[in-house]
Amino acid sequence: MKKLLILPFVLLLMTAIDSQAQIFNTSLTLTVRDDLGNAIEGATVKIYETEADYLAETNVVIEDVTDKKGVVKFKKLEPKSYYVIARKDDMDNAGGGEQIGQLEEGKFNKATVIIQ
């Protein structure tokens, strides 16, 4: 009889664990700065899955614009490495730091991109 009483609690615990995994999506917070360390507001940031897409600037995974603190947040990403282009006026990050390392699954990942 005790085993039957424990079963509902085990099922409830398994549901809670599954729900918690869904709450914490893999995300990426990017800060865009110039070569002096100043935050760049209004920079367009595009993320690509492959180097070929990055080089051809096709098949953008997601795109957004930085806020007044130079920050842009991307949610619900796959835990993998991405290529990034950040641009504002005549500045971009070409030639330095185009690839973001492997994102940790279920974590709030952070990176900084320097444009010049």
- The reported pLDDT for the residue numbered 95 is 78
Taking the C-alpha atoms of residue 15 and residue 97, their distance in angstroms, rounded to an integer, is: 40
* Predicted TM-score of the model (pTM): 0.79
Residue 109 phi, psi (nearest 5): -80, 145
Binned average pLDDT, 10 residues per bin, the chain of 116 residues = 48 48 82 97 97 94 98 97 97 86 96 95
- The reported pLDDT for the residue numbered 10 is 46
CA dihedral for 77, 83, 87, 93, sign (positive or negative): positive
Inter-residue contact 39 to 113 (CB < 8 Å) = no
Instruction: For each of the domains in the chain, give its residue range(s) and CATH number, in order of start.
Output: 25-115 (2.60.40.1120)
